[in-house]
Amino acid sequence: MKRADWLNDAVFYEIYPQSFMDTDSDGIGNINGITMKLDYIRELGCNAIWINPCFESPFLDAGYDVSDYYRIAPRYGTNEDMEELFKEAHKRGIHILLDLVPGHTSWEHPWFKESMKAEKNEYSDRYIWTDSVWESPEGYGSLRGISDRDGSCLVNFFTHQPALNYGFYRPERPWQQSMDSKAALATREEIKNIMRFWLSKGCDGFRVDMAGSLVKNDEDGKGTIALWQDIRAYLDKEFPEAVLVSEWGEPDKSIEAGFHMDFLLHFGPSHYNDLFRCEKPFFGGEGDASEFVSRYLESYDKAAGRGFICIPSGNHDMDRLAKYIKGERAKMAFAFLLSMPGAPYIYYGDEIGMRYVEGLASVEGGYNRTGSRSPMQWNKEKNAGFSDAQSGSLYIPADPAPERPDVETQLKDEDSLLNEVKRLIAIRRSHKALMNPGGIEFICNGRCGEPLIYCRNYGDEKILAAFNPADNEYRLSDTKIKEIIYLLGEKPDAGEDKCIIKPRSAFYAIV
């Protein structure tokens, strides 16, 4: 598997298209709005973008319920608008990943409508059906009694998301088809067709939703790994530069499967939430990062340098970073995110400290996630500069707080979070040890009351990164600092063989 060179210094910006920039005054963000703001993204320092689902959909789950993989949703624009975005992004040295949802479709998808018919047809087995409506798939939700076809259809998550058929690693019932069945292979080939369609138009790759869930009865992931290896082999032949990023959370499996990167997820065993989103987060000053470090090192060792582990500031599925980490500690959190190995991901608005908006009614299946999907705050004008529509027409209401942060104001403030993030990205880019492939060695694991300290290295360059959000100082022995290249808070008291790290401070230093 070839890794595109640009991934070595990639810093990603995640865009929830509904809420980023509206250029046609309908209250919903669009593709042309993203194109309009490419210079902002480039000036921030990001050279890659992940766009959440933008294909045609009934939007019962914010676009994760696709009804046509080959068409941009009209509310966002046209296929031609997307091609123009690819073109303009590439002019600026920015790469774009689209969000691919291969595990399920909307129940409005034409494939599913054909699959529901009692008469056998090309799409009858595109989804997973039991033989009888009285039998529900054990361990899964299902749709039943919805058509003349006899049987229950397995769903992946919401009721309106029927699961596509990639086969069962261990078929146990007559209706469970094998991975090499004609229907399962046909589904796989259609995913390749979808990839080919968008890659041919200028897309640089895909972030793959629920990548580890495609093959069923696949406890060790062997079937799903084999499936993605087949897809990677196809890409290596036709589109060798195409990038794949997985929502899997198990780097040993996803990287073996052919993905270049895997995310640390906010659910599962990663302890990612211990850092930013819990009752006492580490970067809040009272938490414990040691379990995170332990799990991270397990994943890092399993990845064995073959791919990247990505740590996001947040995403569309979790509470905003600013709900728990504010002020100078938010700067410290970004100093951590932008000094770890792998490609960092910044969720739109986190770079200005956008708040989680409390008390919002659910929009398009957002439920408790809706407060993290409010409109981007560009300035202090109407609707925070997101849209000229009437406020009541916005996709999601804007943060009503008079003190809400915005891009325009923070750009003018040298000490703002936005300018700090820009500085941190620039520092990362100017030192190979801090870039994505650089190695890491933990010196202090952030156990309760202690700092988080590690050394990044690449070739002969070594950079110490230290983070002490607590209210007490910490003495680090046997450490000689040559030059501090980033400082937040009070400068450490450094001698020949010691370094006293001050409370509520962070720094990078060449050692």
d(CA 405, CA 419): 13
pLDDT tens digits for range 444-467: 999 988 999 999 999 999 999 999
User: With contact defined as beta carbons under 8 Å apart, do 306 and 286 qualify?
Assistant: no
Give which of 88, 18, 95, 90 is closest to 53, Cα–Cα. Answer: 18
What was the pLDDT predicted at 86?
A: 98
pLDDT grade for 114, boundaries at 50, 70 and 90: very high
Structure tokens at 171: 């078929």
Which pLDDT value is given to residue 1?
A: 73
CA dist., res. 405 & res. 351, Å (int): 10
Which residues, at least 6 apart from 108, have a Cβ–Cβ distance to it below 8 Å? 57, 58, 65, 67, 160
Domains of the chain: 5-102+184-428 (3.20.20.80), 104-163 (3.90.400.10), 439-510 (2.60.40.1180)
For residue range 181-224, what is the model confidence (pLDDT) as tens digits? 999 999 999 999 999 999 999 999 999 999 999 999 998 999 99
> Region 103-109: what's the mean pLDDT?
98
Residue 495 confidence (pLDDT) above 90 = no
Locate 386 and state its tokens. 């997101």
Amino acid found at 158? F
DSSP string, 362-406: P-TT-GGGGGGSPPP--SSSGGGGS-SS-GGGSSSPPP--TT---
Q: How far is CA 34 from CA 16, 82, 93, 436, in A?
A: 10, 10, 15, 25
- Residue 209: the pLDDT is 97
pLDDT at 478: 82
What is the rounded CA–CA span in Å between residue 40 and residue 442? 34
What's residue 328's pLDDT?
Answer: 96
Out of 200-204, 248-252, 352-356, 399-403, pick the least confident: 248-252
Least confident range of 111-125, 282-296, 486-500: 486-500
Q: Which tens digit of pLDDT belongs to each residue from 344-393?
A: 999 999 999 999 999 999 999 999 999 999 999 999 999 999 999 999 99
Closest CA to 473 of 450, 493, 503: 503
Of 153, 123, 148, 115, nearest to 135 by C-alpha is 153
Contacting residues for 187 by C-beta, under 8 A, at least 6 apart: 126, 164, 165, 166
